[in-house]
Amino acid sequence: MAVVSTETPAAPIADRIPSERTHHGDTVIDEYAWLAAKDNPATIAHLTAENDYTEAVTAPLAALRETLFVETKDRTQETDLSVPARKGGYWYYTRTVEGQQYGIHCRRPVAEDETEPPATGDGAPLDGEEILLDGNALAQGQDFFALGTFDVSPDGNWLAYSTDFAGDERFTLRVKDLRTGEVLADEVPDTFYGSAWSGDGSTLFYLTVDEAWRPNQVWRHTVGAAAADDDVVYQEDDERFWVGVELTRSEKFIVIEAHSKVTSEVRVIPASNPTGEPAVIAPRRQGVEYSIEHHGHRFLILHNDGAEDFALAYTSADNPGDWVPMIEHTPGTRLESVDAFANHLVVSLRSEGLTGLRVLTTGSTDAYDIDFPEPIYSVGLDANPEYQTSTVRLRYTSLVTPDSVYDYDLVTRTMVLRKQKPVLGGFDPAAYEQHRDWALADDGTRVPISLVCRAGTPRDGSAPCVLYGYGSYEASMDPWFSIPRLSLLDRGVVFAVAHVRGGGELGRHWYDQGKMLAKKNTFTDFVAVARHLVKSDWTTADKLVARGASAGGLLMGAVANLAPEAFAGIVAQVPFVDALNSILDPSLPLTVTEWEEWGNPLADPEVYAYMKSYTPYENVAPVSYPAILAVTSLNDTRVLYHEPAKWIARLRAVAPEGSYLLKTEMGAGHGGPSGRYDSWREEAFITAWMLDRFGLSH
């Protein structure tokens, strides 16, 4: 394949000036800093040239990409319908239609004496259906479309929804009268995710962001009034804190939560008095996190005050004060959330690397955990809008079990499968096998691994393997089912997830051991897993491709520098590879709020030196790197496009013998293409590239 130039000769040299920064006596020249100027014609020309180069290099894979796309499409029931969830007098659900990119949000009145959700059948519209919002109609003529808020008022009369047509996660909020179908004139630009209705549906609470894309203000809007008349209910001035707003399931309180990475504070407004002043449940204390749920005469408090893996308590809803214990702290059992229903509580937790659900009956000491059959799985509550119910909806999946929706009776302790995601083409879960394995890190820590492969895949090192990782923000990469992944498994590829430190799989300590000045554990854990897979004959280094996204993209860049010989290829999606420069700039989105995750290199020379020692962009060296594919989006507000653009440019300059590709979505955000077919094509592109690394492209 002839090398296609990625230079931008038409751009004036003045548009490509390096920058110089000095911190803590350390001066650094950044020769590709000019790529951060999004409005610089040289930047757009560079990204366009990179896209042209990537397309030229991967052109021989075009037929394989189309084959993979068709395989995903043929396995997917394109016309489908979610299991309806009851709220008041309606069943709410979403439909998809063959050939259409986006979901259609609908509802249907509950028939007299109807207690079971309507059958979804072949995905056809339900009798009596009312379309609330059609994403395809909204997206018509747009290259990108995403919903931020979708919120029906308690009385069912109003719909608050917000749209983004650029991918920058800045949404325009609108209100629709569901009785007439009219969209009101009172729209609000530049809003954030999240909203809450007052009890009578007269007032809508919403969020806006500051210049650093931090949600910092809660606004109150009277339906039918001009947006200019809206007033700020709460403003958070501490730049470490984000703000959220929601209505409790009981519909009794508007909840305003301010939270940093390690501290939180909650305020409430009675939903019956939306013009009231927010009342603090408990003043913030550095290092104490708590969240609330309303339940009758009390607020439930999930907190970590003296409880590393969190405990559950309650306080009076009329006069919040002392926290009375309900579930004591148990090291190793991480309590993640609590959902309150009229006569029951359901606690979502994780223990020994697996998710779980614990049920408590009001007025009783009776508590029990729901059992699930597989050795590796993910379970959690699904949509449960009703407070007065004895049945909860949950979602279950594993590496071999498609997404499954169950209704669980909290009284009889019985479970009914409502729907399992259809997988067409004769899919048989028994044709695949999943495993839990453990690697030993350099410091002796056991690191869990989840694996799935085609049944009978040889354990002699001959199988290719994709190793996925993330390892930040206490986010757990719990086992999930994927239709596109079947195209890998059916070609003999093993798929593995490295549950490295920095995630939350094994509790809060697992997170704490992979952040701040312990961040390198995330990277060395991943390398330990890669070497364990080779030692255990799952694969060999020349058949192992690593993959990660966002903070997982930082992981990819770090392990490329740390152990380039351990991988045949690396896929880094929207990768946070220029972490030090970003965290040094408090004007960038997310930076100040991130200092409690990574440390503050501006103020602390130890943090600066530590981050500089692992940040991928800072540590590119003249070594033999594995093939690298970086995928990014021009309008990403979470990890800016220029991070992978700079990284690839420096790799080419410092280690020119390697194969490096950059693919930039010129009209998308952090999540990539928004339409489902576009997303399938993006996944087919990445999968084809990985198969080519394995020698399986023909």
> CA 521 → CA 102, 272, 446, 469, distances in Å?
40, 49, 12, 13
Are 616 and 561 in contact by the 8 Å Cβ rule? The answer is yes
Query: What one-character-per-residue DSSP string does 262-310 give?
Result: S-EEEEEEETT-TTSPPEESS---TT--EEEEEETTEEEEEE-TT-TT-
Sign for the CA dihedral angle at 666, 667, 670, 674 comes to negative
Q: 451 — phi, psi (to 5°)?
A: -130, 150
Is 482 noted as a catalytic residue in this protein? no
Question: What is d(CA 346, CA 228) in angstroms, rounded to the nearest whole number?
Answer: 41
Question: What is d(CA 285, CA 611) in angstroms, rounded to the nearest whole number?
Answer: 28
| Nearest to 571, CA basis, from 654, 483, 672, 434 | 672
The number of angstroms, rounded, from the C-alpha of 67 to the middle of its chain's C-alpha atoms is 28
Question: What is d(CA 350, CA 300) in angstroms, rounded to the nearest whole number?
Answer: 19
Residue of 198, 260, 670, 674 with catalytic role: 670
Are 614 and 558 in contact by the 8 Å Cβ rule? The answer is yes
The enclosing H or E element of 239 equals: none
Question: What is d(CA 401, CA 393) in angstroms, rounded to the nearest whole number?
Answer: 18
Let me know the angle formed at the C-alpha of 297 by 301 and 311, rounded to the nearest 5 degrees: 20
Structure tokens, 201: 């549906």
Strands 231-235 and 242-247: unpaired
Are 207 and 240 in contact by the 8 Å Cβ rule? The answer is no
Residue of 450, 550, 582, 674 with catalytic role: 550
Are 433 and 399 in contact by the 8 Å Cβ rule? The answer is no
Residue of 450, 636, 642, 674 with catalytic role: 636
Q: 670 — phi, psi (to 5°)?
A: -60, -35
HEC string of 648-689 equals HHHHHHHCCCCCEEEEEECCCECCECCCHHHHHHHHHHHHHH
Are 294 and 270 in contact by the 8 Å Cβ rule? The answer is no
Is 670 noted as a catalytic residue in this protein? yes
Tokens 């007033």 belong to 231
Is 613 noted as a catalytic residue in this protein? no
- Give catalytic residue positions: 550, 636, 670
